[in-house]
Amino acid sequence: MCGDWHQAEDLTQLTLQKVYEQWDRLTQHDQLNAYSHKVLLRVYLSEHRRLRWSREVLTRVNVPEPAAWDDPADDRVTLLAAVNRLGRSQRRIIMLRFWLDCSVEQTARLLDCSVGTVTGQTTRALRTLRNSLS
């Protein structure tokens, strides 16, 4: 979701902490997976907002792209790099729709936007990804 393993570990720890803090209040343990996904998304969004104002932004550095291999792990790295080059809103929508397998309606609800915005941004993001990966 965030494209950085270290940040992902931090987000996982924060998510586990928040789920643990609410454990006594959780009554539907069969839906714990969905609840954890929602907590993870909200932790990511709040951390992303918080870090946006407190970290330095590096200037663009031209780094040569690694050669493509037939290894699926390399494909995943290439895909995540392409996703990270998307704009913030398109990246969020792609991650929710295809990584977390949320419906269009769920994505719109989570991002507090219209269904039309989600479908339009998804179309543009997929077009950008296709162009950058071909």
Alpha-carbon separation of residue 25 from 18, 22, 32 (angstroms) = 12, 5, 12
Q: Is the pLDDT of residue 57 over 80?
A: no
Report residue 3's pLDDT band, with 50, 70 and 90 as the boundaries.
confident
Q: What is the pLDDT of residue 55?
A: 57
Report residue 122's pLDDT band, with 50, 70 and 90 as the boundaries.
very high
Q: What is the mean pLDDT of residues 4-25?
A: 86
* Mean pLDDT of the chain, nearest integer: 82
Candidate CATH numbers 3.40.50.300, 1.10.10.10, 3.30.1490.190, 2.40.30.30; the one for domain 70-134: 1.10.10.10
Helix (H/G/I), strand (E/B), else coil: 56: coil
The CATH 1.10.10.10 domain(s) of the chain lie at 70-134
How many whole angstroms separate alpha carbon 36 and alpha carbon 61? 36
